[in-house]
């Protein structure tokens, strides 16, 4: 077993780099006129097919935090973490049917523009600045850091900063060409991601089969996993009792069983897929049917993701607990990299290419969204109001470069402490603090005409404050057992409310406050969107895609409940 990469692995990786770069350059040359059209550059308006939208959504979503972080949660929790992926498919159905028609009918191109159109300029500016900070200092930095650490481990552990710069430069090369280049290179990226990920899962299962004497057979290896770790194949984490171990409590704190489905996981998914510039940007330049089909295609691809990003973590758990994975270092976040060491020469390069594809696609998509928000919602409105189309494109490119430079500087020595808390936890924690308020603001803004601008500002601030209170202070202030929640010992000398429950409570009280404030205003806000039932009608082929997705999800839950 060779943990480091061989010549053949580097050759496979270089071929991947050349193919993506050449294809990206070809797309760029064909659409070079986009430099004279800001909306075409930032949104690829009218130029994306449904399959490009769907692939780009997945490539931008799946990154190091999934490959490394979710694989780590598979090691720790098991299949329960697949709920993030499978319920995301349902969230994408909701977004495709109900959210996207509202955006497209009202010609919304950025999320701050939505807030300005529906509420007021102050709300839009506050959230534009906030999103920029969140995207740069939480998402961009964590993706870059986790990716560099993972690939560095496979390359021998001595090239962290070289790899970090390489990832940043590769992402810059793609993102400077605009959304058209980002989206169409994502088609290749997601193909590499899926093929490489499936290869890794296959090798992990056959390795388990070999170590447990059933042969190099993936199906038999999967049966071994179910036999050796039956608790890792239950979707619902049981509620702790007085006799529960700290490990069982920690699992429930991470994913609180049925309560997750009644509270936080829906807020996470609907806010991420429906109210997030980084994601919605792919569909905002298309017509309604193309956007819907692309989003639903992404939903079907999401059903595959646990097989790619979670299953290797469960395999690592079974191998490790039986003494067959001594190369595992760094706790659960080291599970995926440890499994990759079993891959033969060449295939290891393909899996590293898949990991790199996920990282680079997410970095490119993120900086493109950063440049879009900065250019269209801040620079054009407040700094250089007379900026022409070409000037806006150039400003966007400068924003791309500046954002990536900041990310490299802050991850160089892990100033933000991403490695200390774990990448998946880091992202979930800091985005989760604002998700309840932001989602409440968007949801009421879309579907309740009475919602006011004052309610929106109060909602986003209150949602953040309540998230902090419930997550950090509620047990000490109100006790460990109340009508609203139960707090559990976290093994660090304190009590904690499960994070998903905190989000649900924050969202509930934020909604109540926004509704109460809005009742003080007019029955119909003058800035309310016009909505009619025709907007939400779907074509028969769309209905077929929705039904197939829902049937698959039902079957999965019946099997692993």
Q: What is the 3-state secondary structure (H, E, C) of 350-385?
A: HHHHHHHHHHHHHHHHHHHHHHHHHHHHHHHHHHCC
What mean pLDDT do residues 19-31 have? Answer: 75
- The pLDDT score that the predictor gives to residue 41 is 65
pLDDT digits (tens, 9 = 90+) for 364-395: 888 888 888 899 889 988 888 888 888 888 89
Query: For 528-544, what is the mean pLDDT?
Result: 89
What does the CA dihedral 346, 351, 356, 362 come to, rounded to 10 degrees? 160
Would you state the structure tokens that stand for residue 485, as one six-digit string? 């929640």
| Chain length of the chain | 561
81-122: pLDDT as tens digits: 899 899 999 999 999 999 999 998 888 888 888 999 999 988
Q: What is the pLDDT of residue 142?
A: 84
pLDDT value of position 339: 87
Rounded Cα–Cα distance for residues 516 and 22 (Å): 56
- pLDDT of the residue at 281: 76
Reported confidence tier of residue 25, pLDDT bands at 50, 70, 90 = confident
Mean of pLDDT values over 231-235: 92
By three-state DSSP, how is residue 488 classified?
strand
Which residue carries 């447990």 as its tokens? Answer: 212
pLDDT for the residue numbered 452: 95
What is the tens place of the pLDDT at every residue in 27-66? 777 765 555 556 666 665 566 789 888 888 887 787 766 7
Please give the pLDDT value at position 420.
59
The distance from CA 246 to its chain's CA centroid, rounded to whole angstroms, is 29
Under the banding of pLDDT at 50, 70 and 90, the label for residue 245 is very high
Beta strands in 268-409 (DSSP E): none
pLDDT at 422: 56
Question: What would the pLDDT profile of 198-207 be if each residue is shown by its tens digit?
Answer: 888 999 999 9
Phi-psi region of 487 (alpha: psi -120 to 50; beta: other; left: phi over 0): beta
| Of 459, 492, 461, residue with least CA distance to 475 | 492
pTM: 0.86
Tokens 């200390």 belong to residue:
420
Where do we find the tokens 């499978």?
Answer: 86
Instruction: Indicate if the pLDDT at residue 416 is higher than 50.
Output: yes
Mean pLDDT of the chain: 86
Return the pLDDT at 118. Answer: 92
pLDDT given for residue 71 in this prediction: 87
Q: Give 486's strand partners.
A: 481
Q: List domains and CATH numbers for the chain.
A: 7-28+49-108+138-234+277-420 (1.20.1730.10)
Nearest to 356 by CA among 20, 4, 6: 20
């Amino acid at each position: 077993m060779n943990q480091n990469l061989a010549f053949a692995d580097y050759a496979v990786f270089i071929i991947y780099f050349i193919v993506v770069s050449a294809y990206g350059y070809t797309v760029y040359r064909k659409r070079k006129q986009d430099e004279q059209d800001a909306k075409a550059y930032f949104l690829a308006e009218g130029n994306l097919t449904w399959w490009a939208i769907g692939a780009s959504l997945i490539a931008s979503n799946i990154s190091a935090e999934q490959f490394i972080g979710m694989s780590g949660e598979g090691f720790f929790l098991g299949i329960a973490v697949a709920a993030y992926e499978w319920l995301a498919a349902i969230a994408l159905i909701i977004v495709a049917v109900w959210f996207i028609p509202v955006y497209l009918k009202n010609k919304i191109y950025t999320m701050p523009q939505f807030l300005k159109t529906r509420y007021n300029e102050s709300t839009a500016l506050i959230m534009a600045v906030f999103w920029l900070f969140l995207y740069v200092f939480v998402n961009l930095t964590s993706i870059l850091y986790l990716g560099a650490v993972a690939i560095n481990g496979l390359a021998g552990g001595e090239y962290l900063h070289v790899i970090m710069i390489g990832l940043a430069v590769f992402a810059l090369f793609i993102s400077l060409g605009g959304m058209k280049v980002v989206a169409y290179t994502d088609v290749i990226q997601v193909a590499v991601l899926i093929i490489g990920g499936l290869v890794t899962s296959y090798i992990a299962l056959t390795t388990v089969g070999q170590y447990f004497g059933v042969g190099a057979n993936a199906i038999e290896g999967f049966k071994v996993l179910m036999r050796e770790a039956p608790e890792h194949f239950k979707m619902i984490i049981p509620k702790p009792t007085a006799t529960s171990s700290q490990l069982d409590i920690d699992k429930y704190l991470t994913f609180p069983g049925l309560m997750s489905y009644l509270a936080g996981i829906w807020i996470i998914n609907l806010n991420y897929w429906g109210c997030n510039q980084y994601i919605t940007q792919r569909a905002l330049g298309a017509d309604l049917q193309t956007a819907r089909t692309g989003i639903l295609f992404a939903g079907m691809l999401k059903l595959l993701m646990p097989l790619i990003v979670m299953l290797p973590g469960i395999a690592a758990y079974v191998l490790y607990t039986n003494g067959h994975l001594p190369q595992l270092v760094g706790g659960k976040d080291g599970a995926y990299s440890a499994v990759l060491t079993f891959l033969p020469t060449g295939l290891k390069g393909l899996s590293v290419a898949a990991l790199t594809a996920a990282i680079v696609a997410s970095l490119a998509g993120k900086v493109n969204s950063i440049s879009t928000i900065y250019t269209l919602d801040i620079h054009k409105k407040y700094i250089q109001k007379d900026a022409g189309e070409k000037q806006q494109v150039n400003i966007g490119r400068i924003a791309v470069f500046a954002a990536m430079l900041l990310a490299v500087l802050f991850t160089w020595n892990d100033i933000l402490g991403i490695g200390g808390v774990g990448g998946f936890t880091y992202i979930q924690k800091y985005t989760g603090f604002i998700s309840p308020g932001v989602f409440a603001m968007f949801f009421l803004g879309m579907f309740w005409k009475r919602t006011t601008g004052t309610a929106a500002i109060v909602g986003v601030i209150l949602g953040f404050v309540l998230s902090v209170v419930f997550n950090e202070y509620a047990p000490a202030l109100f006790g460990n057992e109340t009508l609203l929640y139960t707090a559990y010992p976290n093994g660090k000398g304190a009590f904690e409310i499960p994070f998903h429950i905190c989000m649900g409570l924050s969202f509930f009280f934020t909604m109540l406050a926004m509704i109460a404030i809005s009742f003080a205003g007019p029955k119909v806000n003058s800035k309310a969107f016009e909505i009619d039932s025709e907007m939400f009608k779907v074509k028969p082929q769309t209905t077929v895609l929705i039904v197939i997705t829902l049937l698959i999800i039902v079957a999965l839950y019946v099997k692993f409940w």
